[in-house]
Structure 1
Amino acid sequence: MGFLKSFFNNVFDDSDLPNGGGVATATASLASSFEAVSERELEAHLAVSRYGKFELTDAIRPSFGLEVVPRQGFRHDTYRDEDSRSDVPVLMASATKSQLIDTFMELLEPLGPVVDVVLETSHTCSGGGHTDLYREHIDMPILQSILWDFEDLLLNDGCTGVAVLNPRLPQEVQLDEHKLLIVYGNELSAYENILIDHHVDCDEQLRFITEAEHVHSTTERYVEQFEELKMRLGMDGCL
């Protein structure tokens, strides 16, 4: 089920997203970018996955107007933790499809031998909402083996994200629904070095696909695979 069929069936009414069929979700103002274009123009736009040397996964596409052109790199940011009233350093990165999972897996290594994992899903949510499923205390080699088994899901499903964290550090590495790599915590130099080793270089002017209109894609097959991944990780809860 490609972007096209999903898009025309669902993109202008996120509130009616079905539980499992091929769907596309979008930012709230998506219609302002897409509704005036012809079907031929839309089909051509959604078929484009490569921008220069950068290749998107099947999970997401940028706005028709290309306010943000996807490219590789990372920048520094901060996250405001209202509970502790402190600013947490953040690395945000975008990696081309062929490097994405390898880079993510290596970014997990500094977290240590035992971690917690969170699966994020928006398969049955509308309006930008999502559900988080949590598993504590899993050995890193076991987690990585399971995640490799679901590489296709993690790469190409626009409604699945995964975060791995060590609360004792505390640090967190996330591969989100937009297929961005995000690292939270102090002392992030090890993660910067991993990104640079994978030719994901620092560019503080870099903009990400999330900073403009964009469209997500998923399929019934990915909904089923998400359920399998959830069971393999021993997580409770139903979609």
Structure 2
Amino acid sequence: MGFLKKFLKSNYRDSETPQGVSSFRNLTEAQLEEHMSVARYGDFTLTDAVRPAYHLDVKPRTGFRHEWYVDQESGARIPVLMSSVTRERLFDTFLSLLDPLGESVDVVLETSHDKSNGEHTDLYREQIDMPVLQSILYDFEDLLLDDGCCGIAVLNPRKPMEVQLDEHKLLFVYGHDNEGYEWALSENGVQCDENIRFITEAEHVHSSSDEFQERFEQLCYHLGIDD
């Protein structure tokens, strides 16, 4: 299907298919275009960064659940809050989660531009003042929300706590003292649901563009990161 190949290659990264059989395989061009144009599911609005499987194995919705991150080397278990937030509240929720990290933080930008195998590159900036960081992030809200090849993590190694907005536009909070973060999520209308499933747990595709890649390079410059 020429259109499907062109569409996925020019706008969307190769689909991630846990089951190995893509739901997009036998779609007509009209079916594909219609599916990719849908951003709203009930009261949840996706950003332009990702689209779910055609069969909607996971229907996007707002909520968070508790998970554990296990360090492969040390075996340490770190509590994780994993959340999905509708587009209208996603950026503000992300910024509210940054406040408890403190006045000086480290930043990690994640990029999978120019990659088709699911890998990504991490770019670091240590010790940036939180007000300066948040001012820069406001200027790049479009990139952070709509580029499916860009993610960001903000951390305070002295706490230690980390907040991540990944390339799927899911929010993660890593750390043991996370009661304040649960409160912040609730204040933004994100309630706990231990049965919620996320778009990463089924087939999905990532969206990006050459313009977003250029914006990402500009973000690196403003953060003082040598890309």
TM (normalized to structure 1)?
Answer: 0.90
**SS of match in other structure, 2:144:** helix
Cα offsets for 1:81-123 (capped at 9, x unmatched): 1232111000000000010000000100111000000000000
- Please say if 1:206 is aligned against 2:196: yes
Distance (Å, rounded) in 1 between the aligned partners of 2:91 and 2:151: 12
| Count of residue pairs the alignment pairs up | 224
Q: Contact 2:17–2:204 (CA<8 Å) still a contact in 1?
A: no
Q: Which residue does the alignment assign to 1:77?
A: 67
Task: Work out which of the residue numbers 134, 144, 153 in structure 2 matches 1:154.
Answer: 144
| Offset of residue 9 of structure 1 | 1.7
Percentage of identical aligned residues: 57
- Please say if 1:235 is aligned against 2:207: no
Cα offsets for 1:160-202 (capped at 9, x unmatched): 0000000111110000000000000101000000000001000
- Please say if 1:9 is aligned against 2:17: no
Q: Contact 1:22–1:220 (CA<8 Å) still a contact in 2?
A: no
Structure 1 runs of 4+ with >6 Å offset: none
Q: Which residue does the alignment assign to 1:14?
A: none
Q: Contact 1:10–1:25 (CA<8 Å) still a contact in 2?
A: no
| Offset of residue 8 of structure 1 | 3.1
5 Å matches for 1:26-65? 26-28=15-17, 32-65=22-55
**SS of match in other structure, 1:206:** coil
Q: Contact 2:80–2:173 (CA<8 Å) still a contact in 1?
A: yes
Structure 2, unaligned stretches of length 5 or more? none
One-letter amino acid of the counterpart of residue 6, structure 2: N
Alignment CA distance shift 1:45-1:10 (3 Å): closer
- Please say if 1:195 is aligned against 2:185: yes
Distance (Å, rounded) in 2 between the aligned partners of 1:232 and 1:184: 26
TM (normalized to structure 2)?
Answer: 0.95
One-letter amino acid of the counterpart of residue 15, structure 2: A
**SS of match in other structure, 1:32:** coil
Q: Which residue does the alignment assign to 1:130?
A: 120
Q: Contact 2:112–2:119 (CA<8 Å) still a contact in 1?
A: yes
Alignment CA distance shift 1:158-1:104 (3 Å): same
Cα offsets for 1:59-88 (capped at 9, x unmatched): 000000100000000000000012321110
**SS of match in other structure, 2:22:** helix
One-letter amino acid of the counterpart of residue 27, structure 1: E
Distance (Å, rounded) in 1 between the aligned partners of 2:213 and 2:11: 9
